[in-house]
Amino acid sequence: MSTLRARSPVSYLLALPAALWMLAALIVPTIFIVWVSFWATRTFSLASPLALINYAKFFSRSTYVKLLVDTVQQSLLLMAITLVLGYCIAYFIVVKVRRPQLQLWLFLLLVVPFWTSALIRTIAWIPFLGVTGVINQALLFLGVVDQPVSAFLYSLTGITLAQVSFYTLLATGPVAYTLRNVPPSLREAAQCLKATPLHVFWRITFPLTLPGVVIGQILVFLNVMADFATASAIGGNKYAFLGNLVILLYDSGQLPFASVIAVLLMLCMLGGVAVLLKMVDIRRLGVA
């Protein structure tokens, strides 16, 4: 018995506002993007005939295709870095730190930046990366280099440095969550049976946290694929990803071509998520 009978008609009424909101502001716009991407005209025109001309244009220019490859490449790079870094951090905080008080503080230090503006955090990286920036001044001071390195600001290195600081949390969180649900007794049992620590990790701990790893990787993948602010703020005009191209085309009024990029971006994201989900049964997450 509950305040709502099973399959009560009231439940439809309760679900309706949220469902309508998501349909109107998420599903319908997506359908419109797909529709507009088939418009054969260059600019906005409702009477436009439908054709694949804009898709052909995308795949016939190597600059556009290269942008797609660059975007996917950057996502893969970030996934690799955040996977290792995120796992180490989660493992340290959840398994190695024994004092709950310290655990809480480390966790807060890790999570609190999530509650602040990503844009401000991006801007905050600028004084670090420039020729007269903090990194260069530190390197000069330590004598590592004798001339300032200009490779940080307006470069892929700078973009990657900033992205790692934003997105590692997304990989850490789900791993920490699954790691907390692995009983320490499992590890102890394996150790009693003479398994080496490395063996224990790869045969017991890692497989049990795999759902968390995959969720984290999905979040990092989706965020890096759609990231444009880091590239435009730190990369200057020199570096761009697909998201930046959507903005550029929208600003110059080429709505159909911008939609093509948006559709391709969404397809890549869906494909990536499908591949990642193949690796693990997501419904096991709660049980692991």
- Whether 220 and 170 have beta carbons less than 8 Å apart is answered as yes
Residue 62 or 287: the one with the smaller Cβ distance to other proteins is 287
CA distance linking residue 154 with residue 238, whole number of Å: 7
Kindly state the smallest distance separating residue 52's Cβ from other proteins, in Å: 19
- Whether 49 and 254 have beta carbons less than 8 Å apart is answered as no
Kindly state the smallest distance separating residue 117's Cβ from other proteins, in Å: 4
- Which parts of 74-93 interact with other proteins (CB under 8 A)? 85, 88-89, 91-93
Kindly state the smallest distance separating residue 108's Cβ from other proteins, in Å: 10
Under the binding rule (CB under 8 A), the answer on residue 8 touching other proteins is: yes
User: DSSP state, 49?
Assistant: P
Give the H/E segment covering residue 16.
helix 9-22
Residue 126 or 288: the one with the smaller Cβ distance to other proteins is 126
CA distance linking residue 121 with residue 206, whole number of Å: 32
Please select the residue that binds other proteins; options are 47, 120, 142, 287, rule is CB under 8 A: 120
Q: Write each residue from 9 to 48 as x if it is in contact with other proteins (CB under 8 A), else as -, in one continuous string.
A: -xxxxxx-xxx-xxxxxxxxxx-xx--x-------x-x--
Tokens of 54: 């804009």
Tokens of 93: 């905080």
- Which parts of 236-265 interact with other proteins (CB under 8 A)? 243, 246-247, 250, 255, 258-259, 262, 265
- Which parts of 122-151 interact with other proteins (CB under 8 A)? 123-128, 130, 132-134, 137
Tokens of 125: 């990286």
CA distance linking residue 207 with residue 187, whole number of Å: 12
- Which parts of 184-223 interact with other proteins (CB under 8 A)? 197, 222
